[in-house]
């Protein structure tokens, strides 16, 4: 098919030309002065984007590596961790904890809302001996399109007077939805490259607060490649203890420059608008949203349920075959029940309209019961935003 592929999965997201150009260059010596300057630049930018004054450890690994790193650096064999089951990604993180010989206690969820602060507070109050060493939550559950209120969860730990570490997965929220690690009292923030940061998959992050650095001194889970300490020590001079993902870091520098130029508030407003437009389309089509709590709707992606008896995977196949449009699939127990539209990263109104048009046509071609008018509803949201003076 001619023209560009339409990548509308909730990450990896579309790569800006500036990022691709920045990476399309010879690899340099990662022990030389040019690399040092690059490493210092991206470290500054990462602290800015995470909202954290402490170190940000960068791994040449997908997000799952950074999940593991957060646990092995701070905890010891047999430690209890409280994991809130907001969806597939929270469940996968809990599985990793179990495999690492941690006692992962899961607060069960229905996958239709984000982690609830009150339930976390109630559970922590029932732990007067402070056996729970960490609370792990996913900020933006990419399988459901629901977000969690992280400041409320911080307040829940404080209200319970509980010293557990707070660890937050921002893999699909960072750079798309407001996040402030230090202001919100998060001890370890896990991030990834391939979503709001507009980079290819392959690098991931742990942003660290002082309490996490303290915990790392006594934690005894085995760790080598994931150990924070050597990375932090060498990063101070702009180096890494292993070969870093040099060219991706060039891309990161370019992406951070684009984000500084647009401004975080404008980026977040753009994501909110694209999410509103997508939900307006869903409502017009008569499709139910997977996220059942409006205050928790994600600005980065929307998961739409197909009517009983219809196949979300068939819709996705039709969209790909007919329009070269990739939509996100339903994960875990949502397989074939939902499809997900990613509206994060390098995206604007008209690119989203192309995806929504593809969905509307595919709904018809796949014979899925719906009403027309989704694209028109989304255009209405965008036009209204223009009238209100919102930058596109």
Residues in binding site: 340
Encoded one letter per residue, x for contact with ligand PLP by CB under 6 A and - for no contact, window 8-37 reads ---x--------------------------
Name residues whose C-beta falls within 8 Å of residue 184's C-beta, 6 or more positions apart in sequence: 51, 150, 151, 154
Give the whole-angstrom CA distance, residue 296 versus residue 115: 10
Name which of 142, 77, 93, 92 is nearest 114 in CA terms. Answer: 142
Sign of the alpha-carbon torsion through 291, 268, 339, 119: negative
297 binds ligand PLP (CB under 6 A): no
List 35, 50, 89, 226, residue binding ligand PLP (CB under 6 A): 89
Residues composing the chain: 392
> Of 176, 146, 174, whose CA–CA distance to 346 is shortest?
176
Q: Decide whether 74 or 172 has the Cβ nearer to ligand PLP.
A: 172
Q: Please, how many CA atoms are within 13 Å of residue 202, restricted to the half-sphere of its CB?
A: 11
Binding positions for substrate are 340
Q: Would you say 139 or 270 has its CB closer to ligand PLP?
A: 139
Name the minimum Å distance from CB 60 to ligand PLP. Answer: 12
Q: Provide, rounded to whole angstroms, the least separation between the CB of residue 70 and ligand PLP.
A: 11
Could you say which residues in the range 153-182 bind ligand PLP, by CB under 6 A? 169, 171-172
Distances (CA, A) of 281 to 48, 72, 367, 370: 34, 43, 18, 11
The rounded distance, in Å, linking the Cα atoms of 375 and 353 is 7
Asked if 200 touches ligand PLP (CB under 6 A), the answer is no
CB of 192 to ligand PLP, least distance (A): 5
Q: How many residues bind ligand PLP (CB under 6 A)?
A: 12
Options 28, 36, 64, 241; binder of ligand PLP; rule CB under 6 A = 64
CB of 258 to ligand PLP, least distance (A): 21
Q: Which of 323, 355, 354 is nearest to 339 (CA)?
A: 355
CA-closest candidate to residue 17, choices 340, 254, 323: 254
Residue in 97, 107, 134, 138 binding ligand PLP, rule: CB under 6 A: 138
Rule CB under 6 A: is residue 189 a binding residue for ligand PLP? no
- Closest approach of Cβ 87 to ligand PLP, in Å? 8
Q: Is 142 in the site for ligand PLP (CB under 6 A)?
A: yes
List of residues contacting ligand PLP (CB under 6 A): 11, 62-64, 89, 138, 142, 169, 171-172, 192, 201
């Amino acid at each position: 098919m001619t023209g560009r592929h339409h990548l509308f999965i909730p990450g990896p997201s579309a790569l800006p030309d500036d990022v691709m150009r920045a990476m399309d260059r010879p690899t340099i010596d990662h022990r030389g002065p040019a690399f040092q300057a690059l490493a210092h630049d991206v470290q500054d930018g990462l602290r800015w984007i995470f909202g954290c004054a402490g170190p940000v450890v960068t791994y040449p690994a997908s997000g799952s590596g950074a999940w593991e790193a957060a646990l092995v650096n701070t905890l010891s064999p047999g430690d209890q961790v409280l994991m809130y089951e907001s969806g597939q990604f929270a469940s996968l993180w809990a599985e990793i904890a179990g495999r690492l010989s941690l006692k992962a206690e899961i607060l069960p969820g229905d996958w239709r809302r984000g982690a609830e602060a009150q339930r976390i507070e109630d559970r922590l109050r029932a732990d007067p001996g402070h056996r729970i060493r960490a609370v792990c939550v996913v900020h933006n559950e990419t399988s459901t399109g629901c977000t969690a209120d992280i400041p409320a969860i911080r307040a829940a730990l404080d209200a319970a007077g509980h010293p557990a570490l707070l660890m937050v997965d921002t893999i699909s929220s960072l750079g798309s939805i407001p996040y402030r690690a230090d202001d919100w009292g998060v001890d370890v923030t896990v991030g990834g490259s391939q979503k709001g940061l507009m980079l290819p998959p392959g690098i991931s992050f742990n942003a660290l607060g002082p309490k996490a650095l303290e915990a790392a001194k006594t934690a005894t889970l085995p760790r080598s490649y994931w150990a924070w300490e050597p990375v932090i020590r060498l990063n101070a001079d702009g180096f890494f203890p292993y070969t870093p993902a040099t060219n991706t870091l060039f891309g990161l520098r370019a992406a951070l420059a684009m984000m500084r130029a647009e401004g975080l508030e404008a980026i977040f407003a753009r994501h909110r608008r694209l999410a509103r437009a997508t939900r307006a389309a869903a409502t017009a089509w008569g499709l139910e949203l997977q996220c059942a709590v409006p205050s928790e709707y994600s600005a980065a992606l929307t998961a739409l349920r197909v009517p009983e008896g219809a196949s979300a995977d068939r819709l996705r196949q039709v969209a790909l075959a007919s329009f070269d449009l990739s939509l996100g699939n339903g994960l875990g127990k949502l397989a074939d029940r939902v499809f997900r539209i990613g509206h994060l990263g390098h995206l604007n109104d008209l690119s989203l309209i192309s995806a929504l048009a593809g969905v509307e046509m595919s709904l018809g071609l796949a014979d899925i019961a719906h009403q027309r008018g989704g694209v028109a509803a989304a255009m209405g949201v965008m036009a209204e935003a223009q009238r209100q003076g919102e930058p596109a």
